[in-house]
Chain A
């Protein structure tokens, strides 16, 4: 049986302001019908570029060399018209962000039909029937009425289903899925992965899956290609790769993946450390939330939206509380409320002894030196026009600890060293640092005033796995050395497990479960926590198959 795609010695070069950059260097891959090939690698490794070049979807600044043979047709150098004939019929694409991949002003039925109309003369009625049929196949309930819905009327997971339906409607033999679940919550991710598996089993489509999540790779793929700096460093069947990775980079990548269960021993060690340090049992907690409520005003004539609903928890000095939940669960809102960025509307929230109900910036400002905040996106949390040293010096200057950035430089250098950045980086601008380096600088800034409380809002979710591991390790080290209390917000259970003493699980604004890490993860009580835990793909194909069955059993009970 011949291969669907043959990529031979592919090279892609981009013209940029900084000169030519080779994004893909001598990559050869092939894919048999009905096979799932995962391409993994960190951002910038060329995995997306490789996959997109199969569809001829590269920008004008790119020059590709080599050969891509798709169903016997050579893609490189193909004219625009022939490429259009190819797309949709031979190969289709599933994009990362379902909310932007769909056009908001057309109904989903129209958008699915558009693909049909582009490839042949299809009457409106036929197209509609086909759209309904394909929507049913991807698991959209009541497709007869929902075919006339607009994208905003669907949830994120359903939108991704629609995008997959659009890809499937012309029954292509190959689907390129570019990080299809990155924008989705873990529980939804499991459903979409199931759907992609059905794409292969029922539609017989081969899939090129681009991802950085080793769990997804283990869940879905037959074969794995690992890319690093534009080169293909390893290619092996999935089980073999996870069992015995050959290339050192692959080994490092696999070792960096956070796994559930690694945190219990650390937490225990920390607790005993703290007991040994003096057993501060009766100290007042730094944060006390008591029936905390946060509402956002609704639009005119609508009820306000309750983002946080009667949540109670405490954070003791030196303790790390991990807050987990999917998007929209209110976890970030709680973090921002503690940092004084959101107002609370009910209940009580006491931060370092200051009541946040009826918050006044002027009264709270002196306390800000005791609170550090690390933001999610390292790219935007630095003023792009100030150097790193100036940014890190800001808190010192604002609180009168230093006159100007030069005066603060000594302390800034110490801080940069504490987060393992070379001193010379202080003179660089934020865009000259990589994501991981920026996030470390962000940590340095938040620790500049030796705060008693640190709020970390998804500090590693924008980073690659290998970088994430380093930042988390650094965070744990600093926490141990400096002994600050921390609220660690994340959607990733494994990450939270690595760092936290206690874990709190939020679901739709409510705290559904709270307790010591080993309890919450080892023996979850609430059905949501159970589902969350079961949905998390583990980086081991064999174990993941078992877990998948367990999850199916769990969800079968639920619905």
Chain B
């Protein structure tokens, strides 16, 4: 408090994730850091897959000949090979790339449509709102995986290519997630619509689009990073589910964890553990990592859920005694030395 940090440090401390890590304490910090580490490993693996993977994802032989099927871990193949004769480690590493791509495409597609529809629907209300809500409820009523399967078939048309597969998975996830983003943004917009600052914009004479995008939009999207992380982990699960059911990407087009799991079903009963364990572990760890990040961010953003360090008995105390009350927005940072003096 007493020493003024340098400009660089000050900026660094305000960066989104860094800020939250500094803010957290105890178990919450542990969860957040664990999640960040897992997610970081996932991202790095996906980015540097060509450097990390010993073989290609569809490689069946090298200079010394064919790999052979179901080779146990050790030697040339650290994690063994699959029933199809692929190297397990390489498939797992390349698979992270597919997973990341699907997340990016799925979230990018659903977030824009969902946010825009939610904003329009929530702010304008009337019949548009009712129609959109009914449609999104109808989508909710479908089992998500079933909907994803239908979308996957419709898009790929039974053909399988890398981008076709990625898009089929991404679009099918999109269909399921647009209603989620729509719902969240609409609820926020309806709440913000009655806030005094929106009314004050109205009495100033601001046009409807200006109110929507300058005043409502940015305030309504504050919770998006949280839904984003939580949905990413669900996107991976949906992708794996699609692959497991045989609607994913063919092994020659890209590595995909769900597909590998599917092919290893028969191995499990015959004592070949390595073909199912590692892709499964990859799915679990990535989903766990992203969920941990999402949940901790969610808790930290809410002052009622955020745990704080207990007041230190010996530490020096701020000069002012002006205490803010926690307002509904969740802003507790209005502890203001000027409050008491004004």
Contacts and interface: CB of A to CB of B under 8 A. Distances in A.
B311 A62 contact: yes
A398 B205 contact: yes
Contacts of A435: 339, 342
Contacts of B340: 42, 44-45, 229
Contacts of A13: 311, 317
Interface in A187-240: 229-231
B321 A25 contact: yes
B318 A20 contact: yes
Interface residues of A, number: 62
A17 B342 contact: no
Contacts of A42: 340
Given A44-B339, A340-B203, A368-B205, A20 B333 contact: no
Interface in A299-357: 339-341
Interface size range of chain B in the complex? 35 or more
A63 B313 contact: yes
A15 interface: yes
B200 A21 contact: no
B310 A63 contact: yes
B317 A20 contact: yes
B321 A22 contact: yes
B308 interface: yes
Interface string B290-328: 000000000000000000111111011110111111010
Interface in B174-213: 195-197, 199-207, 210
A436 interface: yes
Nearest to A449: B204
- Which residue, B308, B323, B331, B332, has most C-beta atoms of chain A within 10 A? B323
A60 interface: yes
Chain A interface main SS type: mixed
A17 B332 CA distance: 8
A123 to B, nearest CB: 38
A294 B321 CA distance: 46
B131 to A, nearest CB: 21
- Which residue, A25, A372, A373, A467, has most C-beta atoms of chain B within 10 A? A373
B18 interface: no
Contacts of B210: 398
A380 B312 CA distance: 33
A103 B50 CA distance: 61
A432 B322 CA distance: 13
- Which residue, B214, B309, B321, B325, has most C-beta atoms of chain A within 10 A? B321
- Which residue, A23, A340, A380, has most C-beta atoms of chain B within 10 A? A380
A231 B201 CA distance: 41
B266 interface: no
A437 B203 contact: no
A385 B342 contact: no
A155 B204 CA distance: 36
Contacts of B335: 16-18, 21
B311 A375 contact: no
B137 interface: no
A436 B203 CA distance: 21
A360 interface: no
Given A373-B200, A379-B327, A435-B342, 16 more contacts: A16-B335, A17-B308, A44-B321, A44-B340, A46-B321, A231-B321, A372-B203, A380-B195, A383-B201, A383-B219, A384-B197, A384-B219, A394-B204, A394-B206, A398-B206, A399-B205
Interface of B: 1, 23, 195-197, 199-207, 210, 214-215, 218-219, 308-313, 315-318, 320-325, 327, 329, 331-336, 338-340, 342
13 contacts: A15-B309, A15-B312, A21-B318, A21-B323, A61-B311, A230-B321, A341-B202, A368-B205, A375-B199, A395-B204, A431-B331, A445-B200, A445-B204
